[in-house]
Chain A
Amino acid sequence: MTTGLFLLVLLLIAVIAPFTRKYLKNQAGWTYAIWPFAGFIYYLSLLPAINQGAVLTESFEWIPALGINFSFYVDGFSMLFSLLVLGIGTFILVYAGYYMRPYPMKGRFLGYLLLFMTAMQGIVVSGNLITMFVFWELTSISSYLLIGYYHEKPEARASALQALLITGFGGLALLGGFVLLAIPYGSYELSYILASPDIIKNSNLYLPAFILIAIGAFTKSAQFPFHFWLPGAMTAPSPVSAFLHSATMVKAGVFLLARLNPVLGGTEIWSYTLTIFGVTTMFVGAWISVTQTDLKKILAYTTVSALGTLVLLIGTGTEYAINAAIIFLLVHALYKGTLFMMAGNIEKKTGTRDIRELGGLFKYMPFAAIVMSMALVSMAGVPPMLGFLGKELIYEASVAAPRAYWFILSLGFMTNVILVFLSLRLAIDIFWGKEPAYAKKPAEPALPLVLGPFFLVLASFVLGLFPHAMANPLTSKAITAISPMHDAIVLKLWHGFNLVLALSALTLLSGYLIFRSRHTLLPSIDNVNIRYFRREFTRVFFNLLDGFLVFTKLTTKTLQHGYHRFYLMTLFVVASVLVWVMIWRADPIMLELNFSDMPLNLVAVVALIIAATFSAVVSNSRVVALISMGVIGFGITIIFIAYSGVDLAITMIMVETLLVILAMTVVYHLPKYQNFSSTGARMRDTLVATLVGAFFMVLVLQAGTSSLEMPISEYFKEASYSLAYGRNIVNVILVDFRALDTLGEITVISIAALGIYSMIKLSKK
Chain B
Amino acid sequence: MESIILQIAARHMRPLLIVLSLVVLYRGHNEPGGGFIGGLMFGAAYILYAMAFGVAKTQKSTFFNPINLTALGLLVALISGIPALMLGDIFMTGEWVTFFKDSAFELKLGTPLIFDVGVYFAVAGMLMLVMFSLMEE
Q: Which residue numbers of A lie inside 8 Å of B, CB to CB?
A: 646-647, 650-651, 654-655, 657-658, 661-662, 665-666, 724-728, 730-732, 734-736, 739-740, 742-743, 746-747, 749-750, 752-754, 756-757, 760-761
Contacts and interface: CB of A to CB of B under 8 A. Distances in A.
Contacts of A727: 29-31
A491 to B, nearest CB: 59
Contacts of A760: 133-134, 136
The 10 closest A-B pairs by CB, nearest first: A753-B126, A654-B40, A646-B32, A727-B30, A731-B34, A726-B29, A746-B122, A735-B112, A760-B133, A665-B134
Contacts of B81: 739-740, 743
A747 B121 CA distance: 12
Given A727-B31, A734-B34, A739-B112, A746 B73 contact: yes
A735 B122 CA distance: 14
B70 A728 contact: no
Given A647-B34, A657-B44, A750-B122, 13 more contacts: A651-B36, A651-B40, A665-B135, A725-B29, A728-B30, A728-B33, A731-B28, A743-B115, A746-B77, A753-B66, A757-B67, A757-B133, A760-B136
A655 B40 contact: yes
Most chain B CB inside 10 Å of its own CB: which residue of A726, A746, A750, A760: A746
A18 B71 CA distance: 33
Interface string B65-100: 011001101100110110000000001101010000
A761 B112 CA distance: 35
A761 B32 CA distance: 37
Nearest to B73: A746
B32 to A, nearest CB: 4
Given A749-B122, A750-B74, A760-B133, A740 B91 contact: yes
A752 B131 CA distance: 13
A750 B119 CA distance: 10
Contact of A746 (B91, B92, B123): B123
Interface string B34-70: 1111001101100100010000000000000011001
Contacts of A647: 32-34, 37
A734 B47 contact: no
Contacts of A650: 24, 32-33, 37
B129 A754 contact: yes
B58 to A, nearest CB: 14
Given A728-B30, A757-B67, A735 B116 contact: yes
A728 B129 contact: no
Contacts of B118: 746
B108 interface: yes
B127 interface: yes
B27 to A, nearest CB: 8
Interface of B: 24, 28-37, 40-41, 43-44, 47, 51, 66-67, 70-71, 73-74, 77-78, 80-81, 91-92, 94, 96, 108, 110, 112-113, 115-116, 118-119, 122-123, 125-127, 129-131, 133-136
28 contacts: A647-B34, A650-B33, A650-B37, A651-B36, A651-B40, A658-B44, A658-B131, A661-B131, A662-B130, A666-B134, A724-B112, A725-B96, A731-B28, A731-B29, A732-B29, A734-B35, A735-B29, A736-B112, A739-B81, A739-B115, A740-B92, A746-B73, A749-B122, A750-B70, A750-B71, A750-B122, A757-B133, A760-B134
B130 A753 contact: yes
Contacts of B67: 754, 757
A725 B109 CA distance: 10
Contact of A730 (B34, B73, B134): B34
A56 to B, nearest CB: 34
B37 to A, nearest CB: 5
B120 to A, nearest CB: 10
A646 B67 CA distance: 31
A740 B66 CA distance: 23
A743 B31 contact: no
B54 to A, nearest CB: 13
Contacts of B70: 750, 753-754
B134 A658 contact: no
B29 A728 contact: yes
Contacts of B34: 647, 728, 730-731, 734-735
Contacts of B92: 739-740, 743
A760 B66 CA distance: 15
A750 B121 CA distance: 11
A170 to B, nearest CB: 37
B75 to A, nearest CB: 11
Given A665-B131, A756-B130, A736 B94 contact: yes
Contacts of A750: 70-71, 73-74, 122, 125-126
Nearest to B129: A753
Contacts of B135: 665
Nearest to A655: B40
Contacts of B71: 750
B7 to A, nearest CB: 17
Nearest to B119: A746
B128 to A, nearest CB: 9
A732 B33 CA distance: 11
Contacts of A725: 29, 96, 108, 110
Contacts of B30: 726-728
Contacts of A740: 81, 91-92
A650 B43 CA distance: 15
Contact of A735 (B44, B47, B108, B115): B115
A739 B80 CA distance: 10
Nearest to A748: B126
A627 to B, nearest CB: 17
A747 B118 CA distance: 11
B116 to A, nearest CB: 5
A728 B40 CA distance: 18
A657 B41 CA distance: 11
A657 B92 CA distance: 32
A658 B37 contact: no
Given A647-B32, A728-B31, A746-B73, A658 B47 contact: yes
A651 to B, nearest CB: 5
A650 B27 CA distance: 14
A505 to B, nearest CB: 73
Counting chain A CB atoms within 10 Å of each CB, which of B28, B73, B74, B113 scores highest?
B28
Contacts of B51: 661
A361 B119 CA distance: 75
A731 B119 contact: no
A743 B129 contact: no
